[in-house]
Structure 1
Amino acid sequence: MDYRGKWALVTGASAGIGQEFVRQLAESGANVVMVARREDRLKELSALLQSHGTRTVPLAADLSEGDAPEKIVAFLQGQGIDIDILVNNAGFGLPGKYVSTRWEEQEKYLQLMVSTYAELSHRLLTGMQERGYGRVINVASVAGLVPPAAGHTLYGPSKSFLVSFSQALAAEYDGTDINVSALCPGFTYTEFHDVNDTREQLNQMPDFMMMQVGETVTGALKAVEKAHTVYVPGLQYKFLVWLTGILPRAWAERIVKGSGKNYRDAH
């Protein structure tokens, strides 16, 4: 992958999958606008990547706020930056049962995980279409491809939206040089689970079910270049998606229910 001269925008760039996208895109020659709430982390990452000879621009923003996409696009326009590669990655989780949380938390969750992904794509695809080139990766999850488990109630539904959204966009741009892909990883070693206080449950997961962030991101970049609309890294997760797809729905739901209670907080 050679992205020299291209500009990428990565949300949720301060850690985990987002940080790895920034690193690999910079290694491939892309200039990167890095978006996250923690500006100090973004500046540290920018300093680490100086040796690649590309530009890394930190941009602090809270994507759970409704005006964040508009402000981001205004910043890009002010800097004269045209985005060629969009990685919608920012996210968080809300452990526990649906009604054990405040609606304001769920509303912010939907804003970040659905509306912001859709709005940034809408605003930036216009320029990609005019220039005849674009790549969009929406970071979804295996959870968007299988029946949902208890806890983190809107997580699976929001990820299902991102899968379907990516498929719809990919169909619209079929035959062009604008590729759209949904990355659907399974459990991956990142600090996401520490932030959401679910590390203890995750430690019960068998090692073979845990994915490494580097191979996950490498596979996602290869997939979008090949115009693969839905990319599931790891044979174990490909098998899981296949199995739950061919089984009767009630059986698949029982399998997910039985396994999910060990790794997700439904209290």
Structure 2
Amino acid sequence: MRAWASEAALILTLLAFGGAGSAQTSDLVSTSALRVCADPANDPMSMKDGSGYENKLADLIGEKLGLPVQYTWYPMATGFVRNTLKVKKCDVIIGYAQGHELVLNTNHYLTSTYVLIVAKDGPLADVDSLSDPRLKGLRIGVIAGSPPSTHMARNGLIGKAKAYNLFVDRRHESPTHDMMDDLETGEIDAAILWGPIGGPMVKQGHPNFAVIPLVKETLPPKLYYRITMGVRQGEKVWQRKLNSLIRRHQDEINAILAEAGVPLVTDLGDAVLDISQ
């Protein structure tokens, strides 16, 4: 868990498998540019026009390294890592969920969780758990196959749920934008999104809605994930360099995340952190 990270990227991270390599950093990592693997249409994370908050994180890392940022663009879907990082077209994925072998993870720079999005002044504004009886009988939007679906089923919320596609090419289809549009029009009563997507979307264009981190869900599957940067397997020197940058510049990273509206939670996902400036 974009990172992460988009919901599709997060699910891919949880499901995909990859093997370790033995490449040496000195052979593969560019010394003339920070070469970033990114989705060109993964709003609000990465965008080809540079407006995503992961673009701003890349700019920060490039600045600290004294290197210009260069992108290899590829849709964040099946084959993303294989067709970018693994074939050495780029050297880092800015947002990647911790815990799988498809990439070598750096230390995490954020922990976030899925969020419930509801009308700020509506009757659901203080709901903070999917077991709240006020959600019964409502039409709730959710990304199909994402972890909150299991919690919704457990609480009897799936029957009237509206599912949105998970694996899409976001250059042509945007389920998260569709979900927020449906929430605005009343097609759905509430929405559940990965926090680093839902938080910024509300801040950017939906000020009448509240973002409620789901930190009270204790049964599996977990709804919080630690997001790292991903590099090629075996590139321990490069990993350590990025770990050092993350550690020394965490406050600046947090400022970018706060400005974007990304909700942060504790490493155990059980409380919300205040990173407002």
TM-score above 0.5: no
Normalised to the residue count of structure 1, the TM-score between the two structures is 0.32
State the structure with bigger RCO (CA 8 A, min sep 6), 1 or 2: 2
